[in-house]
Chains A and B, each alone.
Chain A
Amino acid sequence: MSILAVRELSKSFGGVRAVERVGFSVAAGELLAMIGPNGAGKTTCFNLINGQLRPDAGEILFDGKPMQMLPPRDRCRLGIGRTFQVAATFGSMTASENVAVARLSHERKLGSIFSSPDDSTLGMEQALLKQVGMDALADKQCAELAYGDLKRVELAVALAARPRLLLMDEPTAGMASAERGELMRLVSNIARRGNIAVLFTEHDMDVVFRHADRVIVLAEGELIAQGTPAEIRADARVRRVYLGEDAAHA
């Protein structure tokens, strides 16, 4: 059953139609990649789903309920976690504190002004960091971490809110190619084990075809194809607008 369903989603800027009647869905435990050449409307589409933008028309259903008008923080509370193209963490805090903020937010405990953060649940932070392989660096300040490590911490922060859908904008951007595969394997393990749906955008076709269960392709704001990596590879239209272009550049 699909956890996220997008229907007839449209958004224009001035007269430019950035996203035009796009529709697709993501099932629990599934890794769905959104690809397309530059200017295809990926970023706009992604920002409509994560709440940075409001659509002009169309619906975004999370668990069957429309959420297209909710601000990002409410989408988080519904169970949607996010990672950013440039990893966003709390730089002055340790990795463990970063996760603690997200966890306390999830438990609605951040309003408490005169209590100390609850030490009894510190194990939870450790467990989440262990899951992403960052437990050894839990007490390091985020501003001092290597970029690849920061991406992992960010993933742990997103997971701390117990999401059922993870939105990852260019999850491997800025990483070395060895790190990329490793991170995506990690994401895919976590998704399957926790039955978490993952929607991600990606430039690296290698990552897409290797790790995505399904792929959707945007071109000029419209959805032109969706299917398994093998089907997308074989799709003539995709080859023409997308891979063809790549081949021409190569």
Chain B
Amino acid sequence: MLLSSVLIQFLNGLAGASSLFLVAAGLSLIFGVTRIVNFAHGSLYMLGMYLAVWLAERIGFWAAVPLAAITVGAIGALAEISLLRRIYKAPELLQLLATFALLLLVKDFALWAWGPEDLLGPRAPGFAGAVEIAGNAFPQYDLLLILLGPLVLVLLQLLLSRTRWGILVRAATEDREMAGALGVNQRWLFTGVFALGALLAGLGGALQIPREPANLNVDLSVISDAFVVVVIGGLGSIPGAFLAALLIAEAKAFCIGLGYSQATLVIEFVIMAAVLVARPWGLLGRMPVPARPGAAEPPLAPPSRRLRWTLAIVACGLALLPLGSGGYTLVLLTDLLIFALFAASLHFIMGPGGMYSFGHAAYFGLGAYAAGILLLREKFPMELALALAPFAAGLAALAFGWFCVRLSGVYSAMLTLAFAQIAWSAVFQWDALTGGSNGLVGVWPAPWLSSKPAYYFLTLLICASGIFLLWRAIYSPFGLALRATRDSPLRAEASGIDVRATQWAAFAIAGLAAGVAGALYAFSKGSISPEALGIQRSVDGLVMVMLGGIQTLSGPVWGAALFAWLQDAAARNIDYWRAATGFVILALALVLPNGIGSLLQAKK
């Protein structure tokens, strides 16, 4: 590689870092003050892009960019006042879910307002050309971006260190209770911070339009990049966000420059691993103050006699059902069983394990793809493909889980989402193996299983056994150890339990079980598309678990049944299913701020 092209790649990296920094800085700022990880932050970036493109056609590029940023800031303030304000005291998981619901709403709003096609933005007037740097043409606009990142960093630092408002923000970040006790008006401080964070995200998006068309996938790719950046830089540290954005963007630019664009996903992974090993709280982050021990999780009673009988009757009913029902009911029930196993596997790490996963569909989807690839590309018999595919998901869970158990709470939740997004991109990009966006077709079961009732029985047998084994594991000595690590990691470690290893094993088991569900799903549909591991599937799993009650044993199964039925009934009539899910989550979060499962538990 010539020195001049090294320079060009370096500059490319700098330009990419600026947008990434704007998003990550906003995310960090909001988290520092409100302690909420805003999953919808990538959506604000996406809104910034669409608004800027739309406005640029009307009022010109240079007026559109600041106006779009300010509008997104105002939208952020509105969201804070109408929604987040009500849930600052709610459990962490519910806060994450609520911002997740926002993400879904914004996505469908953008789909409704601007349609599914990518929107090309204009070039920036005055910066449309290129300059020659060391014999290479380099876009003028990128030079502007390179200057903008450090400029915003300096402005933010000045704002935080020199103004009264900035000092209040820092005070609230250091010690929320104390700042409140000193008479800081927290309500407007929080709103202001959220608006500023949103504005930065909107600005990041708006500035990106000359380089990239506005599209509906950008929210998730940006938020997962931003998560990786704040994990590397240290959540709450703005210089850390800058440093990490630089590191990631440079690494990506050099990968692309060297002709290994596929390696960009891997390189993010490697950098994160290296940082987490050396500095678990990020380059410039500090060890988070351990959360005050909240209310203890409710006890896990052994399954009651009534529950055992109910389950036995349900199982018998399911076994006898094919005798008197049509093909459509069987297809629906097959789906339902698969989702029940998927939800039970997610519940295994979220309930007894206390680990949040916002990307559990990764293991479902990898199980499905592994089954398809083994059958179609490796020409394995269907039975063998079905048996081996879950191990691919289990291995991925081992790899991703290694990182996730090194972090706790929101950090870990952010990583699960980032990994799911990485898995999705890998599947999406790897055309030769996965069929890219078209997916794989012709993933049919062996002839003896090809009738609807036969495949239904196979699904029933495998899913029921899988759920039974997961439940048994919860009550086993291992399950006891897992609950111990959730209740008190300190005590668990002092009692000789390897906390990380226990959680890691649980993560892998859950991934394996989700992989079983995914492989069954692939053969039941005959085709797989990247949606199988898309974020929507992860959200579905979360909603199923929350609907049923997170600290109940059988809850996820009832939740999956209710959800699958609702989806089947509603999805055919509602165009904007994502937004509908978002509204349901928000409604539940606002009506039952102490947990959606609490209603079901109280009724028992």
Contacts and interface: CB of A to CB of B under 8 A. Distances in A.
A236 to B, nearest CB: 38
A92 B477 contact: no
A115 to B, nearest CB: 6
B325 to A, nearest CB: 34
Contacts of B472: 114
Contacts of B492: 90, 101
Interface in A188-246: none
Interface string B488-499: 101111111111
Contacts of A93: 299, 480, 483-484, 487
Given A72-B493, A90-B483, A105-B497, A110 B296 contact: no
Interface string B458-475: 000000000001001101
B298 interface: yes
Contacts of B509: 113
B493 A73 contact: yes
Contact of B488 (A73, A89, A113, A114): A89
B158 interface: no
A84 B497 contact: no
B477 A142 contact: no
Contact of B477 (A50, A77, A110): A110
B495 A105 contact: yes
Given A73-B498, A105-B496, A114-B469, A91 B296 contact: yes
Contacts of B312: none
Interface string B238-260: 00000000000000000000000
Interface in A155-175: 157-158, 160-161
Contacts of B490: 84, 88
Instruction: Name, among A84, A92, A143, the residue most crowded by chain B CB atoms within 10 Å (CB to CB).
Output: A92
A123 interface: no
A185 to B, nearest CB: 24
Contact of A90 (B298, B476, B484, B499): B484
A88 B480 CA distance: 16
A142 B484 CA distance: 12
Contacts of B575: none
A111 B480 contact: no
A106 interface: yes
Nearest to A94: B299
B286 to A, nearest CB: 14
Given A88-B491, A113-B473, A117-B476, A143 B296 contact: yes
A81 B496 CA distance: 9
A114 B473 contact: yes
B297 interface: yes
A160 B158 CA distance: 56
Interface string A41-72: 00000000010000000000000000000011
A147 to B, nearest CB: 13
Contact of B480 (A77, A89, A101, A158): A101
A110 B486 CA distance: 15
B481 A89 contact: no
Interface residues of B, number: 34
B481 A110 contact: yes
B297 A91 contact: yes
A161 to B, nearest CB: 6
B295 interface: yes
Contacts of B296: 91-92, 141-143
Interface in A12-34: none
A116 B476 contact: yes
B349 to A, nearest CB: 14
A225 B518 CA distance: 67
Contact of B491 (A50, A90, A106, A141): A90
Interface in A92-139: 92-94, 97, 100-102, 104-106, 109-117
A112 B494 contact: no
Nearest to B481: A110
Contacts of A152: none
Contact of A92 (B298, B476, B497): B298
B299 A90 contact: no
A141 B494 contact: no
A69 B348 CA distance: 34
A123 to B, nearest CB: 17
A50 B502 CA distance: 21
Contacts of B293: 91
A82 interface: yes
B188 interface: no
Interface string A77-89: 1000110100011
Contacts of B155: none
B300 interface: yes
B430 interface: no
A100 B479 CA distance: 12
A40 interface: no
Nearest to B494: A82
B299 A112 contact: no
A72 B496 CA distance: 7
Interface in B542-563: none
A149 to B, nearest CB: 15
Given A88-B488, A91-B487, A92-B300, A114 B476 contact: yes
Instruction: Name, among A73, A77, A97, A115, the residue most crowded by chain B CB atoms within 10 Å (CB to CB).
Output: A73
A73 B477 contact: no
A163 to B, nearest CB: 10
A157 B492 CA distance: 10
Given A90-B488, A92-B296, A110-B497, A97 B480 contact: yes
A187 interface: no
Contact of A105 (B297, B298, B473, B481): B481
A76 interface: yes
Contacts of A91: 293, 296-297, 487-488
B88 interface: no
Contacts of B487: 89-93
A102 B494 CA distance: 9
Contact of A104 (B299, B480, B483, B498): B480
B478 interface: yes
Given A90-B484, A116-B475, A157 B299 contact: no
A112 B477 contact: yes
B495 A161 contact: yes
A142 B473 CA distance: 22
B58 to A, nearest CB: 57
A92 B483 contact: yes
B476 A112 contact: yes
A36 to B, nearest CB: 23
Given A97-B480, A101-B492, A114-B469, 4 more contacts: A76-B495, A112-B477, A113-B479, A142-B296
Interface of B: 293, 295-300, 469, 472-473, 475-481, 483-484, 486-488, 490-499, 502, 509
14 contacts: A73-B496, A76-B494, A76-B496, A88-B490, A88-B494, A92-B300, A105-B496, A110-B481, A111-B478, A117-B477, A117-B480, A141-B296, A157-B491, A161-B495
Interface of A: 50, 71-74, 76-77, 81-82, 84, 88-94, 97, 100-102, 104-106, 109-117, 141-143, 154, 157-158, 160-161
